[in-house]
């Protein structure tokens, strides 16, 4: 399974510019042979939260249309990172996933809102797990700050996820946390973790990428630098079951003790 990590810079509060750029990057990833293309967090607007009334994607319609069109045309799966959306009267940080038929097979609103970037002031939190299947493989998706909640990842793994995607806008001043937590989530859940972080700057933060693909033993399969890039990483999904059989963590859980 060939996964393309699209590590890119994002224009602050400029959705038209960002949609054009993302389409170009998705096409480039497909040309490189990607089967699954993964985007970073909030790629339509970045964290221009005070202007969401004007720039958020209404009902996610533009995002879903773009991802569906490109997925079907290019015959790829797209894990659409996340975008700012307006749904009803609320604003959300939303992930959409499109399969090769152009079907939107997952819609996830970020469950854990990050107060240091004022998400709790402007956004509503989601309340549903994000489990979906691509190529008949169970997968899961979370968004950025969700990474700090190991029980959220365990819930996805217990529901069969063999790959968990983590799009992010993780600032460089805490990048060591990003790298260590991604590796820990892979080891403890014995699954592949695909973390795709942005690069560049906004008025309040700097972002230095360091996107990562990590195997179910915790091995680093790829780590990005601090520049825009599209990296194709090939994984062997069968490795998940091999690791889970070797060290049967899920069988050895004592759930009643954890309450």
Active site residue 191: no
Active site residue 41: yes
Active site residue 144: yes
Rounded distance between C-alpha atoms, residue 20 and residue 9, angstroms = 13
Rounded distance between C-alpha atoms, residue 9 and residue 196, angstroms = 12
Task: Determine which one of 107, 110, 119, 162 is catalytic.
Answer: 110
Q: Residue 141 contacts by C-beta under 8 Å, 6 or more apart in sequence?
A: 79, 95, 97, 106, 108, 130, 132, 164, 165, 166, 167
Of 103, 104, 95, the residue nearest 140 (C-alpha): 95
Rounded distance between C-alpha atoms, residue 107 and residue 132, angstroms = 9
Rounded distance between C-alpha atoms, residue 16 and residue 54, angstroms = 12
Task: Determine which one of 35, 41, 119, 231 is catalytic.
Answer: 41
CA 195 to chain centre: 6
Rounded distance between C-alpha atoms, residue 3 and residue 241, angstroms = 19
**Torsion angles phi and psi, residue 16, rounded to 5:** -60, -45
Rounded distance between C-alpha atoms, residue 137 and residue 53, angstroms = 37
Residue 32's Cβ-side half-sphere holds a number of Cα atoms within 13 Å equal to: 20
Task: Determine which one of 5, 64, 119, 144 is catalytic.
Answer: 144
**What are 84's strand-pairing partners?**
93
Catalytic residues: 41, 110, 144
């Amino acid at each position: 399974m060939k996964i393309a990590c699209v590590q890119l810079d994002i224009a602050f509060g400029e959705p038209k510019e960002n949609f054009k750029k993302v389409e170009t990057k998705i096409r480039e990833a497909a040309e490189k042979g990607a089967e699954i293309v993964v985007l970073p967090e909030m790629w339509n607007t970045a964290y221009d939260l005070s202007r969401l009334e004007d720039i958020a994607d209404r009902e996610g319609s533009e995002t879903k249309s773009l991802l569906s069109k490109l997925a079907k045309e290019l015959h790829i799966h797209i894990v659409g990172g996340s975008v700012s959306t307006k749904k009803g009267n609320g604003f959300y940080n939303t992930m959409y996933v499109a399969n090769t038929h152009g079907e939107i097979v997952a819609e996830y609103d970020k469950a854990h809102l990050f107060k240091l970037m004022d998400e709790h002031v402007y956004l509503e939190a989601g309340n549903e797990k994000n489990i979906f299947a691509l190529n008949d493989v169970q997968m899961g998706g979370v968004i950025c700050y969700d990474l700090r909640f190991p029980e959220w990842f365990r819930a996805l793994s217990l529901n069969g996820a063999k790959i968990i995607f983590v799009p992010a806008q993780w600032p460089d001043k805490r990048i060591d946390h990003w790298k260590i937590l991604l590796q820990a989530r892979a080891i403890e859940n014995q699954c592949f973790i695909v973390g795709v972080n942005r690069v560049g700057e906004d008025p309040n933060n700097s972002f230095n990428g360091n996107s990562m693909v990590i195997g179910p033993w915790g091995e680093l399969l790829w780590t990005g630098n601090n520049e825009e890039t599209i990296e194709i990483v090939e994984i062997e999904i069968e490795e998940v079951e091999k690791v889970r059989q070797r060290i049967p963590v899920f069988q050895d859980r004592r759930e009643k003790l954890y309450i």
